[in-house]
Amino acid sequence: MGFITLLVFPIPTFLDYYFFREQSLISIFELDHIQLLPIVLGLGLGVAYAWIALLLMQAPVFEKLPNRIEQLVRRMNLNIFDCIFLSICASVGEELLFRSGVQYYIGPIITSIIFVAIHGYLTPWNWRMSLYGLIVLPFILLISFGLSSYGIWYCIAAHFSYDLVLFLVISKKNNPIERF
């Protein structure tokens, strides 16, 4: 699944850049604008928000979720390499599709809502899962609005570090967050 996200998700953005924006495919990666500060800010945002989300997910309201995120991640039996690999795949593939592609046409707010909904976190059939979606939505909005100021690497870094922290913490059998 990781390879599909990494290699297939960006294809619509590549096609859009090539046929409609008449820009080179390499310009999607903003290689001439890479700066350390936005990457560090993105990494910090992702780590901080992941810990906030982990703490909030311990609320009793989430105990009755039939498919808790923690349960899904633990069933995957991820090792450290898997956590890093999946975090890279999701952050690069999804950010290229949503931030560099979709957001260009429909803006950061609608793109963020669609992003969270596609992940199954906003659904009219499960208010508890939607509550989790409302926890994640501000993070995705911060990434989306950060694109214009900080660039795609900020978005990728934030997404990567958020996913990595969640995968690493949740995949542990004795989840340290449960001690809080």
Across the range 15-30, mean pLDDT stands at 90
Residue, of 2 and 175, whose pLDDT is higher: 2
Give me 89's structure tokens: 């795949």
Coil vs helix vs strand at 30: coil
Q: Whole-angstrom Cα distance, residue 139 to residue 158?
A: 9
Q: Which two tokens stand for residue 26?
A: 């390499």
Encoded tokens for 1:
């699944």
Output the pLDDT for position 180: 38
Q: Which of 166, 158, 169, 178 is nearest to 121 (CA)?
A: 166
pLDDT tens figures, 75-117: 888 999 999 999 999 999 999 999 999 999 999 999 999 999 9
92 phi and psi angles, rounded to 5 deg: -70, -55
pLDDT at site 179: 42
DSSP letter (8 states) at residue 59: S
Residue type, 133: G
Give residue 48's pLDDT band: very low, low, confident or very high (50, 70, 90).
very high
Encoded tokens for 16: 């859009």
Is residue 146 pLDDT above 90, yes or no?
yes
Name the average pLDDT for the chain.
91
**Residues 114 and 102: beta-carbon distance below 8 Å:** yes
Q: Is 39:153 a contact under the CB 8 Å cutoff?
A: yes
Structural element, H or E, at residue 80:
helix 80-97
Distance of alpha carbon 121 from alpha carbon 127, whole angstroms? 9
How far is residue 15's CA from residue 180's CA, in Å, rounded to a whole number? 47
pLDDT of residue 68: 65
pLDDT score, position 173: 57
